[in-house]
Amino acid sequence: MDSVFSYFFIFPVAETVPFPYVVGIQRRGISKACAKCQIIRQGVSKYLTWTAFPHGLTVGQLSDFCLVEPFIPAIFAHMNTNMKNRNILIVDDNRGVLTALQLLLKPYFRIVRTLSSPTTLPAELRGEEWHVVLLDMNFTASLNTGNEGLYWLHEIKRQCPDLPVVLFTAYADIDLAVKGIKEGAADFVVKPWDNQKLVDTLLTAAQGCSKEKKVSSPSYADKGGETRMYWGESPVMQQLRMLTEKVAPTDANILITGENGTGKEMLAREIHRLSLRRKQEMVCVDMGAVSETLFESELFGHVKGAFTDAHADRPGKFEAAHRSTLFLDEIGNLPYHLQAKLLTAIQRRSIVRVGSNTSIPVDIRLICATNRNLPELVARNEFREDLFYRINTIHLEIPALRERTEDIVPLAERFIARFCKQYDRPLVRLTDDAQAKLRQHPWYGNIRELEHAVEKAVIICDDTCLSAELFQLSDRRQEASEIPVSTLEEMEKKMIVQALDTCRGNLSAVAAQLGITRQTLYNKMKKYGL
């Protein structure tokens, strides 16, 4: 034959390749000038169901089929090095489906990880390098809208923008799957699925994942530059992380407790970021800084003419947090007589502006935080028991920094990188002596104290390393009792520190003991860096 033939090979994927193989060439139309042929994916293997073609065909019979067995070793050698190193994550609430998919896809992927619930999906994305995700559209038996699948699609794309996601949908959800593709999904597969089509779709998606990009390790900074929660490596923080990721997608009320400076507000922002309400801005209220006389106006708003300075209608914090998250910091400092008004708003999920009789419904997710022991306050009748149980559906306790010493140096290194960039300094590192000194310090001011210490050290550093001498650390509690007082300001600072220790951080009690208002106390604490 004088014809010229062009061969277009489509390589199959298999874990092992038993030989000999019989692979046929299908004639796509032969003319006098050329013939286009394509290897068809049909043959004999342990994993693939192929059609065997007869041996011994002559060149003259090429227009039908021909044995091309010599191509096989090279084909599969190429496949094993380029495809078998891929990892797939499968999320579906049907365990039978997960088992079937794991058996089907094991020959094609190095790691096949299955999840029966998407709640642990964020942690899985951070824990391994994934090349494709197969995501079901519905996880709640009573809901078939597919919105759950779209939410987790958005979460995956937010965390790992380059990670391909293939949607797993029923026949009735085709329109929804198309919507998912418009919002970033790579493809979709219809249930019940065809094995070969499913494999082909997933392999194609996995091939589109760039090898150069690490899709499993998201940045710890939002697009706006806001620092995210640093979880660290300590077991207690990893447990907190797992619980946070479980409860964040729900609307359960959360109470965050911990010492001053542990990062309660940052944890609240992390919960909001992982929630279904993250598209709206979280609203924060410092309950210790709200004047008692303006409490209702600040939280519930007021109408024009409600009081002397009410020149226009003004929505309160509850209305501002509609369809978002309301974060009430220092909830333990709220006076007892105002707690009932807050409880009513939380229970009814509606508010009434000052000077109005109209009830306004609000859709909020409530997160509260305090450094005080609320059960003790309840026992002393300083905090309403019914309010305590209302805000305490989920309790998250942030441990003190001295209780997780393994996180001190990594946190310090993060602060070093931030401040070196902020002050346009070359990146410096901690010496061994400096690391030891940081680990040994009690850090009663927790992360906030560490942050300030690192910032000061970076500013005054003239070397490539941060030595131990640059960290002028002292025990605040010893300092208050041992340093002689020489000025009125020093005496005032000492009195505030002693009152803080005596009252265990209860700012209302501190203000009462010192005979000043809470706002004045806040101003003085800010002045003295407390």
What 8-state DSSP symbol labels residue 64?
T
- Is 160 within a domain? yes
Final residue of a domain: which of 397, 420, 455?
397
- Is 11 within a domain? yes
pLDDT of residue 218: 37
Final residue of a domain: which of 442, 470, 498?
470
CA distance linking residue 133 with residue 52, whole number of Å: 33
Domain span at residue 50?
4-81
**183-198, pLDDT tens digit by residue?**
788 888 888 888 888 9
- Is 38 within a domain? yes
CA distance linking residue 204 with residue 187, whole number of Å: 10
- Is 385 within a domain? yes
CA distance linking residue 206 with residue 200, whole number of Å: 10
**315-339, pLDDT tens digit by residue?**
999 999 999 999 999 999 899 999 9
CATH of the domain at 448: 1.10.8.60
Whether residue 82 has pLDDT greater than 70 = no
What 8-state DSSP symbol labels residue 475?
-
Do 355 and 393 fall within a single domain? yes
Decide: 454 and 266 in contact? Cβ < 8 Å: no
**103-162, pLDDT tens digit by residue?**
899 888 888 988 888 877 877 787 678 899 998 887 765 555 667 788 888 888 887 888
Q: Which two tokens stand for residue 308?
A: 């002397």
Do 72 and 92 fall within a single domain? no
Final residue of a domain: which of 374, 397, 420?
397
Lowest-confidence segment of 85-94, 206-215, 328-337 by average pLDDT: 206-215
- Is 355 within a domain? yes
Lowest-confidence segment of 240-244, 311-315, 380-384, 525-529 by average pLDDT: 525-529
Overall domain count for the chain: 5
CATH of the domain at 371: 3.40.50.300
Whether residue 251 has pLDDT greater than 80 = yes
What CA dihedral angle connects 12, 14, 16 and 18, to 10 degrees? Answer: -50
CA distance linking residue 437 with residue 439, whole number of Å: 5
Decide: 197 and 252 in contact? Cβ < 8 Å: no
Side-chain half-sphere of 161: how many Cα atoms within 13 Å?
Answer: 3
- Is 327 within a domain? yes
Beta-bridge partner residues of 365: 325
- C-alpha 232: how far from chain center: 14
- Is 214 within a domain? no
Mean pLDDT calculated for residue range 432-461? 92
Do 137 and 16 fall within a single domain? no
Share above pLDDT 90 across residues of the chain, in percent, rounded to a whole number: 36
pLDDT of residue 477: 54
First and final C-alpha spacing in the chain: 92
Do 99 and 54 fall within a single domain? no
CA distance linking residue 512 with residue 507, whole number of Å: 8
Beta-bridge partner residues of 221: 227
- Is 222 within a domain? no
CATH of the domain at 485: 1.10.10.60
Lowest-confidence segment of 252-256, 345-349, 354-358, 492-496 by average pLDDT: 492-496
Q: Which two tokens stand for residue 121?
A: 């999906």
Mean pLDDT calculated for residue range 348-372? 94
Do 57 and 203 fall within a single domain? no
Whether residue 52 has pLDDT greater than 60 = no
Decide: 469 and 456 in contact? Cβ < 8 Å: no
